[in-house]
Amino acid sequence: MGRTEMSKRELARVEVLSRVRSEELRVVDAGRLMQVSYRQAKRLWKRYREEGAAGLQHRSAGRSSNHGHAKKFRQKVLGLVREKYGGAVGERFGPTLAAEHLAAEDGLQVDAETLRRWMLAEGLWSRERKRRRHRRRRDRKEHFGEMVQMDGSFHAWLEERGPEGCLIDMVDDASNKTWARLGEQETIWAVADALRAWIEGYGVPLALYVDWKNLYKRPANAGERLRGEEPVTQFGRMCAKLGITLIAANSPQAKGRVERQHGTHQDRLVKKLRRRGIHSHEAANVYLEREYLPEHNQRFGRCAARPEDYHRKAPCAAELDRIFRLESTRTVSDDWVVRYDNRFFQLEPQSGHIVPARSKVWVCEGRYGRMSIESGGRALRWREIAAPVQPQGLETAARKATPRVPISVKKRKWTPPPSHPWHEPPRPKVPKRASKWAATAPRSSLAWPCTSP
């Protein structure tokens, strides 16, 4: 079987080891960047020196696993799990217990972790929530670019002179180097612009420390937990394309570095903006870039514990444009129309590329509204058309245009039917001094009261 293309991780290793060859990094630092042990880093460095970039490709690429189970065996195991060991959340067997019963009762040997992956993929099991770990003080990262904390701070930055805004703040965990920009809200484009500015200035960091928000990273819903899927936000997809690990903090104290920077900015920056008489976000951002941030980094910055820079090389501007955009899947209608955000796009005939109806395409929206539609990695030709006119809308408009003439209907007097309780004969009244028995006596006895002889 022929060799396959190299994966993103293997290409990233080629870039790191090329920096070792040019003596920019040591092998131990390359191991940290590749997230492997020092011994494995030495093995990869040896293969790279002897075989070049092709030596970093996995030896089993393009081949099936020697220890994998047959497809028929997997279907048989999952069928037994679904039939005998499935059920509601509180009744179904876990992967470990199901593996034990499969071996004892059905004679099928399967590892519990393998069965766990199969059950998660089929929706027969959901990951249990782990206990909260005991918190302890975390040490700073040792290298510049190893982890950057990002957060937004809403505050009256311009006081009464301008509108309230949100300051997007980024702080390097090792050196306290800070970048910030003031805007109206903490939106997807605000944080994407902040990350892009950091990348263009310093390079691609290894990890970002953010909040649990739908903007950055959100928890899985019930359906995703059953399918064993990890939800990916638009910002998470951008970071994944850049190879940035997204870490969500469970409390504000976990990312205390950037939280303390917010307090510093809310004290110093507000007063400096007041002295300058700045009353707009645009003027505030110019002051931040030219004066405030260089002075702030010089005063509060510190040297990282190790001198190596862990930022990776920034992609070109065209590649960054393809990364920092919104991407959504849409279905092509029978007349080759794609609907997105209440807009309609008519697909034109494509040269050498057929897009069948009812197929999935990617609708991509750039930073300033630039639209593109892609399928299979290729851009499609399209033109925007007007929204179709609904027939019921025309009828509704005609009805509104036609004046309605009120019709007077004479109300008929209601007459109760013969079986109504109103037609029953009235009950006789009970004497005031009647006995208790007489008050509870049947109706017939009250009609003909008995007298003593």
41-50 mean pLDDT:
91
Decide if domain 148-300 falls under CATH 3.30.420.10.
Answer: yes
Contact of 151 with 266, CB cutoff 8 Å:
no
**CA 32 from centroid of its chain's CA atoms:** 28
The one-letter code for the residue type at 120 is: L
Least reliable range by pLDDT among 16-30, 82-96, 430-444: 430-444
Residue 258's H or E segment, with its range, is helix 256-276
Contact of 374 with 380, CB cutoff 8 Å:
yes
pLDDT for residue 452: 44
pLDDT for residue 451: 44
CA atoms in the 13 A half-sphere facing the CB of 171:
25
Locate 240 and state its tokens. Answer: 């994944």
Residue 288 CA: distances (Å) to CA of 144, 168, 179, 200, 261: 22, 12, 9, 17, 14
pLDDT for residue 402: 60
CA-to-CA distance for 17 and 26, rounded, in angstroms? 9
pLDDT for residue 142: 92
Q: Sorting pLDDT into bands at 50, 70 and 90, what band is 447?
A: very low
Residue 397 CA: distances (Å) to CA of 90, 386, 402, 403, 407: 55, 19, 9, 12, 22
pLDDT for residue 89: 74
Least reliable range by pLDDT among 149-158, 222-231, 396-405: 396-405
| pLDDT > 70? residue 193 | yes
Locate 40 and state its tokens. Answer: 């494995």
Question: In this predicted model, which residue has the larger pLDDT, 248 or 411?
Answer: 248
| pLDDT > 60? residue 444 | no
The residues spanned by each domain of the chain are 8-56, 75-122, 148-300, 325-385
Q: Sorting pLDDT into bands at 50, 70 and 90, what band is 132?
A: low
pLDDT for residue 356: 86
| pLDDT > 50? residue 428 | yes
Nearest to 251 by CA among 197, 211, 215: 211
For residue 49, give every residue at least 6 positions away whose Cβ sits within 8 Å of its Cβ, in sequence order, or none: 21
pLDDT tens, position by position, 50-74: 888 888 887 777 677 777 788 889 9
Q: Sorting pLDDT into bands at 50, 70 and 90, what band is 1?
A: very low
User: For residue 132, which phi and psi values (nearest 5 degrees)?
Assistant: -70, 130
pLDDT for residue 317: 93
Contact of 283 with 48, CB cutoff 8 Å:
no
Nearest to 177 by CA among 289, 291, 266, 297: 297
Q: Which residues pair with 378 in a beta bridge?
A: 375
pLDDT tens, position by position, 227-261: 888 888 999 999 999 999 999 887 777 788 888 89
pLDDT for residue 369: 86
Side-by-side strand order, sheet with 378-379: 326-331, 360-365, 371-375, 378-379
Q: Sorting pLDDT into bands at 50, 70 and 90, what band is 124?
A: confident
CA-to-CA distance for 234 and 368, rounded, in angstroms? 16
Q: Sorting pLDDT into bands at 50, 70 and 90, what band is 389?
A: confident
pLDDT tens, position by position, 201-210: 999 999 999 9
117-140 mean pLDDT:
76
pLDDT tens, position by position, 300-354: 999 999 999 999 999 999 999 999 999 999 999 988 899 998 899 999 887 777 7
What size, in residues, is the chain?
A: 453
pLDDT for residue 149: 93
CA atoms in the 13 A half-sphere facing the CB of 154:
5
Q: Sorting pLDDT into bands at 50, 70 and 90, what band is 453?
A: very low
Percent of the chain topping pLDDT 70? 86
404-408 mean pLDDT:
56
Give the predicted TM-score (pTM) of the model: 0.58
Number of other residues whose CB lies within 10 A of the CB of residue 315: 16
pLDDT for residue 54: 84
Residue 345 CA: distances (Å) to CA of 311, 341, 390: 40, 11, 17
Mean pLDDT taken over the chain: 84
| pLDDT > 80? residue 446 | no
pLDDT for residue 450: 44
Percent of the chain topping pLDDT 90? 44
For residue 420, give every residue at least 6 positions away whose Cβ sits within 8 Å of its Cβ, in sequence order, or none: none
101-129 mean pLDDT:
87
